[in-house]
Chains A and B, each alone.
Chain A
Amino acid sequence: MDQIQYYDANRIEGRSMTIIIDNGKLETISRNSSKGTGIRALCQGSWGYTSIDGETDLETGIKNASELAASMNRTTPKERVVLGGAPKRKVGSMPVIKINPEDISIEEKVELLREIEKHAAEEGIKSTRVSYSESVLTTRFMNSEGEEKEYSTIKSGFSVSAVAAVGNNYQAGRESRFNIAGYEIFEKNDPYKLAKEAAEMAKSLLKAKTPKGGAVPVILDPELAGVFTHEAVGHASESDLVLQNDSVLSGKLGKQIASPKITVIDDPTLHEYGYYPFDAEGIPPEKTVLIKDGVLNSYLHSRETAGVFESVSGNARAQGYAMPVVRMSNTYIDKGDASFEEILEDIKNGIYLIGSRGGQVNTGEGVFQFNAEKGYRIQNGEITDLVRDVSLSGQTLDILNQIRMVGKDVKLHAGHCGKSGQTVPVTDGAPHISISKATVGGA
């Protein structure tokens, strides 16, 4: 029973460049070129996977992966995996790239980055850093079912950060923009304005207070609400985690798990940073409604998990030629009907949390922790004192049910998501939302 029932290969070839300006000094110009192949083979219930840097002979690679799978199947035989969910869909169009970044000289890029840094180096700012990156990647996919296709993408992005300090009080502000885009990213996003905003943020935080911790009503801005959506809801919707009992959403399909005001969507077809024309299993994706009016509607799938759930796939992604894993793309809470003023009015007293310094979640128990960049006290429906070092923690299901109001102002934010040791580009977002009670950490 050593027969290989399926194999596929992702061959990636690309170039990338990073430029960093730090405290006025052009610190790094780093350029990389790479090639490589990742090959999977399936024998009954065992996967064999081989990845090789550089030039590879595809046939040898397929043979290696097949031997690994067959050998695994001999040692630890298990139930046959049935790959499902390979819908015949049209491959979507790629976002239009207006200015190929490789057509712009390094000198011109450096000059622009220096100018951006100057806008962050305001009085009172102790140190600044601007980084820029671009990459050109071609992905070729083939499998044993006769599929063969490829696409090329260009990604660009930049970040600017500023640190303000008084004595031992150090505060940072940071802004970043990334997209599947060319050099026009600097036209679509005003880098000078963002640099100023990073500096202003750092300076204002110096004077901010640290609130007393406790359970209070909160408003989350689109960025932090987006992080919550991605980390707490999105990851728990990944079917590989669901199948391994590592998701608080296991066994909850069709059940009311959130306030009826909440609809959560993952959409790889949006021309945003998480876009892809087909996934790492060659499947053109579609929009998935994860939560519809508070009811858990669907998980995200690879072909293997789609086979188990009799669903459709399209969310198997990989960093380069690593082994594909079930991943999100562009994930957001859909727009509601409240204006920000109405949300403020309704919440009366509490804390308005803004931006994100990152977070972490235990998907199995549904427990999360996020740090906001800053916050404001809300008193009698009005925004008052600035606060810092504020974090939000709680139980995912608890928070989903305590959502009071959902705004109209959906905003997406590009970032990088890590899982299984791989990083992929994603966006997450939401409108402003309010929560009746959540644990806010402070001093």
Chain B
Amino acid sequence: MRIPRTAALASAAAVAVGVLTGCSAGGGESILDRETLTIGVKADQPGLGLRRSDGEFVGFDVDVARYVAGKLGFSDQEIRFTETPSNVREQVLEQRRVDMVVASYSITASRKTKVTFAGPYYVAHQDTLVRAGDSAVRNVRDLANRRLCKVTGSNSWRRVTEERGVPARLVETTTYSDCVDRLIRGEVDAVSTDDLILAGFAAQRGNAVKIINAPISDEKYGIGLHKGDLDGCEAINRALTEMYQDGTAARLLDKWFGRTTLRTTDSVPQFEGCS
């Protein structure tokens, strides 16, 4: 790329034009111009974003956010994590209460009308969790006539029973954590949702459960930004590319999900493109 020609520029004009264009770019628009960074994460998702009893947030999402923030030039002291529940993610970005959201936030075309998405930093898949000793369930079709956990307010079960028409028997409960406990106790036979979420629970429960690695969807986990922050979005995409190139992504995936039977992908995902 060539830089704007300066040869013809009167020295007096140079100074003043610099000031002029600087103004028109509009300060504070991009997260790159921020002094500190407020990052929205989940607080109740083991392996992804979990608030520990000492108030610190831990998980894959948190580590990814920290890496990206570091690449954008923010020190650990300059970033602050805050809980961002799923139903307010668009709202907090719009009102600039949070600078970026890294909270197992799937990129969809309708969300893209309100949020600028960097990434995805990982493509999760809907998959199935069964008891470690269960070798009868190898793909989603095998869930026919088995007890499948249905979490109130979640749509994951629909992919099995409605979209694929697999006649599983639904057992309703309130949280995925409860689903996994029931699975271990033998009260349900399978839990179906994003594999990273399943792996997060599985890692907590040792070897009692396993993921069958038969994905039935792509969930593009993106980093949400205030709509229109293209500079920030492109900078984050570069950081994510480097995260995969320098081996950090593989290390983090292993750190959080390596103990489970989940097969993770350690090459860079296809980005959505900043818009």
Partners in one complex: no
